[in-house]
Structure 1
Amino acid sequence: MLTSALTSVARISLCRSGIGGLIGQAPGVRAAYSRWALYRLNVGGVFNGCFGSWDEAMAAIPSDRLAGWDHDAAAAIFDAPLSRQPSVYASMFWLSQLLRPGDRIVDLGGGAAITQRLHTARAPLPRGVHWTVVETPAVARFGASLAEKGDLGGVTFVDSLDAAGACDVFFSAGAMQYMPDGLGTLGAVLAKRPRAVVLNKLPLAAAADYWTLQNFGPAVCPYRVWRRSDFIAAVTAQGYALKDAWDVVELACDIPFHPELYVPMFAGLAFVRTDP
């Protein structure tokens, strides 16, 4: 318990206060932290550095570390009991309100159909709803193997949005920030005019807009944080209205030596198309 308290104090000091910025100016401190943060294998969600682009962040990943989510080791993360994060219930509520019988839902970055499994464990989907998960090839293969064993029903796994086709409802939870152009990818989806869009676990900041690196255990990946107002404006500009927004209190972005970049909680958003 004492160790946990000390860890919390250290995190607050390094990531959320001016003390962290001052410590980061000491010679060798940032380099030493980077070595520690990028090579840890037994923890997930460790952030490091601030970058101006995907390419710049990728170049900072050590050559002897796996990068991105397209690896069997990354896919193995989903071979675990389903978590019960509070924000899941907000997204499930909006899916229950928006899905209609016979709808097609595309779930970008859905892992092993995590949200579909959490939803159906608590309430049935409308009759005839078909759920397509779009994932990296490695994760899609893992999900498909579960489906083949009969562990999943009514779910298809593909490794590209083109393969998924058009949809009535588009959903994504905690995946767009790992993509080279997540907002651009969303724009391409909106061009196909889904009726509704539900997004969860988005790292949205009040003022900042930047890239960082996240070590999620098996690998390291560039990680995008968007300015909240810009993100919402990009979606509404394509003919969608913001129906609801909620706080994702279980997730935060703490980057040592960068207190100005601290994101205290992530966000969830639900949009509906404005034209008939």
Structure 2
Amino acid sequence: MLQNLKSLPIILDLRKILFESKFSSDINVNYFRGVYRSFEEARLSSPKTKPVGYDNTEAAGLYKERTRKIYSTDYPVLFWMDKFKLDIKKVFDFGGHIGIHYYSFSKILDFTNIENWTVCDVQSVVEEGRIYSEQKNAKDLNFVTDIQDLEDQDLFLASGSLQYLDWELHNKLSGLKKRPKILIINMLPLHNSLSTITLQSIGTSFCPYYIRNEDDFIQGLESIGYELLDLWSNEEKKCNIAFEKERSLNFYRGLVFHLR
């Protein structure tokens, strides 16, 4: 009965108005709303109360506490990095912010074999990361803003980042002369039947957000020579798109691929 009442047109309209107010103004939140045909359409729908994307001072200053802590969702990544540790000398950490995983993973993993750890992110985040790395004297940590610098890397690591891009990973990798041998992708929103572009509020800004079709994502990488070694669920991570139950997710995915 309660669900029926919530679905009544006048009640539903009121709920949407109330949600939009929270979406526009709340901080320290993780809200999703809307279904869009493109990232540009999602951007244009953003409230004017905050910037769009991570390329700003407020977003660049986030997540420093994560450099000091290992989260439960990190352990599958740690397992596979340890398993391939003799094969990994160069790490390309795509969307790695200020080097979150470089700092936190070094508390558990043996980094002896790693010669270089490169973080690729937007300009504001890269600038913050360089300042932080100087403070921490992290000499083997580098920062770039172009994914083309992925050329000649051993490991492509992407944890919670590919959803912020509207291009497909297999298309970028196919253009490289020398592809990374190992792909470890974690905290990725994948749906079992649909693909959706929505809009996320991270508190400091709004971000277009891409939920991909799981089969399409896997098949795209297999089509350019990668073999799927493992697939797991990040049960701690959910994506609830307001008023879009069918497109929402109860968990995210992690995957490991190896180049044949």
- TM-score norm. by structure 1 comes to 0.85
Aligned to 2:199: 213
Does the 8 Å contact 2:231/2:256 carry over to 1? yes
Does the 8 Å contact 1:18/1:259 carry over to 2? no
Q: Taking structure 1 as reference, are residues 25 and 146 closer, same or farther at Cα in structure 2, changes over 3 Å only?
A: same
Letter in 2 for 1:142: E
1:80 to 57, 61, 65: 65
- Cα drift, residue 130 of structure 1: 1.0
Aligned to 1:7: none
Cα offsets for 1:208-244 (capped at 9, x unmatched): 2101111111101011101111111111111101000
Aligned residue for 1:77, secondary structure, equals: coil
Aligned to 2:26: 40
- Cα drift, residue 19 of structure 1: 7.4
Alignment of 1:23-172 (within 5 A): 26-41=12-27, 43-81=28-66, 82-100=68-86, 103-172=89-158
Q: Distance in 1 between matches of 2:74 and 2:6?
A: 32
Residue correspondences, number? 256
Q: Taking structure 1 as reference, are residues 66 and 260 closer, same or farther at Cα in structure 2, changes over 3 Å only?
A: same
Cα RMSD of the aligned pairs, angstroms, is 2.2
Does the 8 Å contact 2:64/2:100 carry over to 1? no
Aligned residue for 2:12, secondary structure, equals: coil
Letter in 2 for 1:80: E
Aligned to 1:258: 244
Aligned residue for 1:84, secondary structure, equals: coil
Greater RCO between the two (CA within 8 Å, min separation 6)? 1
Q: Taking structure 1 as reference, are residues 122 and 20 closer, same or farther at Cα in structure 2, changes over 3 Å only?
A: farther
Aligned residue for 2:242, secondary structure, equals: coil
Q: Taking structure 1 as reference, are residues 227 and 19 closer, same or farther at Cα in structure 2, changes over 3 Å only?
A: farther
Cα offsets for 1:74-124 (capped at 9, x unmatched): 011033244432120101111122233672111100012111222211122
Letter in 1 for 2:43: M
After TM superposition, the runs of 4+ consecutive aligned structure 1 residues lying more than 6 A away are 17-20
Q: Distance in 2 between matches of 1:19 and 1:232?
A: 41
Q: Distance in 1 between matches of 2:224 and 2:35?
A: 30
Does the 8 Å contact 1:21/1:258 carry over to 2? no
Q: Taking structure 1 as reference, are residues 226 and 149 closer, same or farther at Cα in structure 2, changes over 3 Å only?
A: same
Does the 8 Å contact 2:88/2:155 carry over to 1? no
Unaligned runs of 5+ in 1: 1-12
Letter in 2 for 1:66: P
Aligned residue for 1:245, secondary structure, equals: strand
- TM-score norm. by structure 2 comes to 0.90
Give the percent of matched residue pairs that are identical in Structure 1 and Structure 2. Answer: 23
- Cα drift, residue 188 of structure 1: 1.2
Letter in 2 for 1:44: V
1:203 to 189, 193, 196: 189
Letter in 2 for 1:88: D
